[in-house]
Amino acid sequence: MKLDKPGQSALLKLSEVDIEIDRIKNVISKAVNSPELSAKSQELSELSGEVIAARTNFENLNMEARKADDNLHMVEERLARDNERLNQTSSPKDAQAIQSEIESLTLRKEGLEEVELEILERLEVAKQELEEISNKRENCSKELEELREKIQIQVDELKSQGRKLVADKETLTSKVPADILEKYKALATKQVAVGKIESRSCTACHMGLTANTIDALADLPEDEIGSCPECLAMIVR
Ligand SMILES: [Zn+2]
């Protein structure tokens, strides 16, 4: 295959640009799929679940506390009414019945007070837990946001480098004839498609070449593209 010297250097450069574009694509994909990012997202979703559980627990206890308070008020109201009735009644029999009810209501009131106190203590603990886990979630969410921004900046920078390279690629492609370009594309899907001989090795596969091969490649006309016997890459001067 024949190609003049400027064409050959465009072909070599095209191969380098394509390799760099692939490298950038890889770095972008690694950055976007970074394990750090998915670990942080996972942590946030777990903490969100914990916040919901803590809030549900707090709200349930809050409801229990209100119910306990209502029950206590009912008993207190009945006690107040009974005391009033006791003061007003003139019947010893009624007084005895009322007195007995007051005694059992008083016991019930003490029991309810204990229950309410115990619920309020649990409510206090639940409130602290909810605050702690909400703060944790908040921090995690901020960290995730910062991480996303950091990655976005990195990706934007890489994309801008990539766009420059794609523009370079277009210019270089226009300098290479169609038949050579076709061969180049077929090779480039599998390997480094273009190389040179440097330090008695092929720069595409880095294999050392025999003196005979090197001589044969050197003997080719200047505008003839050679081929590496090891990797089949096109060899330019
Ligand atoms: Zn090679």
C-alpha span between 14 and 9 (Å, rounded): 8
Please give the model's pTM, rounded to 2 decimal places: 0.74
Residues in the chain: 237
In the reported structure, the alpha carbon of residue 165 is separated from the centroid of ligand 1 by a whole-number distance in angstroms of 24
In the reported structure, the alpha carbon of residue 192 is separated from the centroid of ligand 1 by a whole-number distance in angstroms of 8
Of 111, 127, 148, the one marking the end of a domain is 148
Q: Summarize pLDDT for 87-140 with one digit per residue, the tens.
A: 999 999 999 999 999 999 999 999 999 999 999 999 999 999 999 999 999 999
In the reported structure, the alpha carbon of residue 212 is separated from the centroid of ligand 1 by a whole-number distance in angstroms of 15
Total domains, the chain: 2
Domain-embedded: residue 235: yes
C-alpha span between 159 and 130 (Å, rounded): 42
In the reported structure, the alpha carbon of residue 193 is separated from the centroid of ligand 1 by a whole-number distance in angstroms of 9
Domain-embedded: residue 187: yes
In the reported structure, the alpha carbon of residue 191 is separated from the centroid of ligand 1 by a whole-number distance in angstroms of 10
Domain-embedded: residue 157: no
In the reported structure, the alpha carbon of residue 164 is separated from the centroid of ligand 1 by a whole-number distance in angstroms of 28
Domain-embedded: residue 169: no
In the reported structure, the alpha carbon of residue 209 is separated from the centroid of ligand 1 by a whole-number distance in angstroms of 8
In the reported structure, the alpha carbon of residue 70 is separated from the centroid of ligand 1 by a whole-number distance in angstroms of 88
In the reported structure, the alpha carbon of residue 186 is separated from the centroid of ligand 1 by a whole-number distance in angstroms of 16
In the reported structure, the alpha carbon of residue 187 is separated from the centroid of ligand 1 by a whole-number distance in angstroms of 12
What confidence tier does 198 reach under pLDDT thresholds 50, 70, 90? very high
Q: Judge if 137 and 116 occupy the same domain.
A: yes
In the reported structure, the alpha carbon of residue 234 is separated from the centroid of ligand 1 by a whole-number distance in angstroms of 8
In the reported structure, the alpha carbon of residue 11 is separated from the centroid of ligand 1 by a whole-number distance in angstroms of 16
Q: Summarize pLDDT for 110-125 with one digit per residue, the tens.
A: 999 999 999 999 999 9
In the reported structure, the alpha carbon of residue 178 is separated from the centroid of ligand 1 by a whole-number distance in angstroms of 23
pLDDT at 1: 86
Asked if 11 contacts 180 with a C-beta cutoff of 8 angstroms, the reply is yes
Domain-embedded: residue 165: no
C-alpha span between 158 and 5 (Å, rounded): 32
Q: Judge if 12 and 41 occupy the same domain.
A: no
In the reported structure, the alpha carbon of residue 198 is separated from the centroid of ligand 1 by a whole-number distance in angstroms of 11
Domain-embedded: residue 130: yes
In the reported structure, the alpha carbon of residue 171 is separated from the centroid of ligand 1 by a whole-number distance in angstroms of 26
3-state SS, one letter per residue, for the chain: CECCHHHHHHHHHHHHHHHHHHHHHHHHHHHHCCHHHHHHHHHHHHHHHHHHHHHHHHHHHHHHHHHHHHHHHHHHHHHHHHHHHHHHCCCHHHHHHHHHHHHHHHHHHHHHHHHHHHHHHHHHHHHHHHHHHHHHHHHHHHHHHHHHHHHHHHHHHHHHHHHHHHHHHHHHHCCCCHHHHHHHHHHHCCCCCEECEECCEECCCCCECCHHHHHHHHHCCCCECEECCCCCCEECC
Q: Summarize pLDDT for 42-91 with one digit per residue, the tens.
A: 999 999 999 999 999 999 999 999 999 999 999 999 999 999 999 999 99
Domain extent, residue 62, equals 34-148
Domain-embedded: residue 163: no
Q: Summarize pLDDT for 181-192 with one digit per residue, the tens.
A: 999 999 999 999
Domain-embedded: residue 27: yes
Asked if 104 contacts 1 with a C-beta cutoff of 8 angstroms, the reply is no
